[in-house]
Amino acid sequence: MKAITVKPGKVGVEIKDIELKQIKNKIKVRTISTGICGTDREIVYNELNFVKPEEGDYLILGHEALGIIEESIENSIFKEGDLVVPMVRRPGNCKLCKIGRQDYCLDGNFIEAGIRGKNGFMCEYFYEDEKYLVKINKSIQEYAVLVEPLKNVMKIVEVFNFLKNRVSWECDDSTYSCKGAWIFGTGPEGILISLVFKSLGLITTIVNRHPLPTNILDFLDINGIEFFNSSSDDWSKKLKDYPMDVAIDAAGTTEIFNQIIEHINNNGIIILFGTKGSGSIEKGEFITKIVDKNLSIAGSEDGSKLHYIQASNYLENYAPKQNIKNLITGIYKPEDIWILKEKPKDEIKSIIKWS
């Protein structure tokens, strides 16, 4: 079968012919589509130091996938023809991994499909343990490949719900209609976070330091999400109508962290998701502000099986209302491996169609 592979430690990507061995007690899944994200391109450019093969010297890329069951196993809840999304992260042996919360792994001994220690899904078929498959309703087939990136957002919502319990946080009518969310970064994760916080009823603003292509601006506009260009727009003017009570960073530069600490309201919640982390923070004054404002700051990575299920439910409920199919801006063939090296200008989510 065709498979898109990288050699961990080296720059580059290729399409290879690989046959996988049938594995006992594992379900055979035929890949329908795989999504491409920043992590995949960082792997291709050898920018991540934790990338590892499963065996040999190559790794099949791809952690965002939708597949269809081709051959199930005895007594399985899955039958031929069912649609499934495979999970990325697989547990190690720590206490939290043992209860399905490998997203909070204590010792780092987990593996991740298409990233560290396990082949991914950019290939025509794969064998999978049923525990790591999430059943998908046929009604969302067209965009179910977004379940994987969206599960990260569902975990962010879990973190948000936890942190806001520090103090009475809701508005005086019990809703969030007076509260504002600012999301930094306009990649697919940033846009998905904005959509979900908008659906929670917060005044939602998405930020980048450069202008956006018109297809992205139109998509945000239809969904009632405000765009703020942090290098040319006026911060204080914007903050009057678009308060910053929760700030979520999906870009990961420290420059953004400095801006958030400066502008966020008292009792604000900051959730960091982006991992680029270059630059430095303004220490002294910075700490005073975190304390004076009673800020809560949390990092959030990955998500549990529950979050995959919530992501799939979210798509069933909100995809038609929020025009989510428009997030898929390009559909490519496996042979188009250039798409893993170059990001098209108007890209939100590019996908590879396998069958």
Question: Where along the sequence are the contacts to ligand BGC (CB under 6 A)?
Answer: 37, 39, 63, 88-89, 112, 115, 148-149, 152, 301-302
Instruction: Report the residue number, 244 or 324, with the smaller CB distance to ligand BGC.
Output: 324
Could you say which of Zn ion, ligand BGC, none residue 88 binds, taking C-beta under 5 to 8 angstroms by partner kind? Answer: ligand BGC
Could you say which of Zn ion, ligand BGC, none residue 89 binds, taking C-beta under 5 to 8 angstroms by partner kind? Answer: ligand BGC
The residues, ordered by sequence, that sit 6+ positions from 21 with a Cβ below 8 Å of its Cβ are: none
Instruction: Report the residue number, 5 or 152, with the smaller CB distance to ligand BGC.
Output: 152
Phi then psi for residue 295, to 5 deg, are -80, 150
Per-residue contact string for residues 29-68; x = within reach of Zn ion by CB under 5 A:
--------x-x-----------------------------
* 17 and 8 Cβ atoms separated by less than 8 Å: no
Instruction: Report the residue number, 43 or 337, with the smaller CB distance to ligand BGC.
Output: 43
Instruction: Report the residue number, 65 or 261, with the smaller CB distance to ligand BGC.
Output: 65
Phi then psi for residue 208, to 5 deg, are -145, 165
Could you say which of Zn ion, ligand BGC, none residue 301 binds, taking C-beta under 5 to 8 angstroms by partner kind? Answer: ligand BGC
- Torsion sign (Cα): 209, 239, 202, 253: positive
3-state secondary structure (DSSP) of residue 192 = helix
Instruction: Report the residue number, 82 or 148, with the smaller CB distance to ligand BGC.
Output: 148
Could you say which of ligand BGC, Zn ion, none residue 339 binds, taking C-beta under 5 to 8 angstroms by partner kind? Answer: none
Number of residue whose CB is nearest Zn ion = 37
Task: Tell me how far, at minimum, the Cβ of 311 lies from ligand BGC, in Å.
Answer: 11
Task: Tell me how far, at minimum, the Cβ of 213 lies from ligand BGC, in Å.
Answer: 23
Could you say which of ligand BGC, Zn ion, none residue 187 binds, taking C-beta under 5 to 8 angstroms by partner kind? Answer: none
Contacts 24+ apart (CB under 8 A), 262-267: 262/289, 263/235, 263/239, 264/182, 264/293, 264/295, 265/293, 266/293, 266/294, 267/166, 267/167, 267/169, 267/293, 267/294, 267/295
CB-based burial of residue 206 (10 Å sphere; 0-12 exposed, 13-18 middle, 19+ buried)?
buried
Task: Tell me how far, at minimum, the Cβ of 272 lies from ligand BGC, in Å.
Answer: 14
Q: What is the DSSP letter of 87?
A: -
Identify residues 199-228 at the interface with Zn ion (CB under 5 A).
none
Q: How many residues bind Zn ion (CB under 5 A)?
A: 2
Alpha carbons 110 and 199: distance in angstroms, whole number: 33
Instruction: Report the residue number, 140 or 150, with the smaller CB distance to ligand BGC.
Output: 150
* 185 and 100 Cβ atoms separated by less than 8 Å: no
152 binds Zn ion (CB under 5 A): no
Radius of gyration of the chain (CA): 21
| Closest C-alpha to 34, from 85, 79, 72 | 85
Q: Which positions lie near Zn ion, rule CB under 5 A?
A: 37, 39
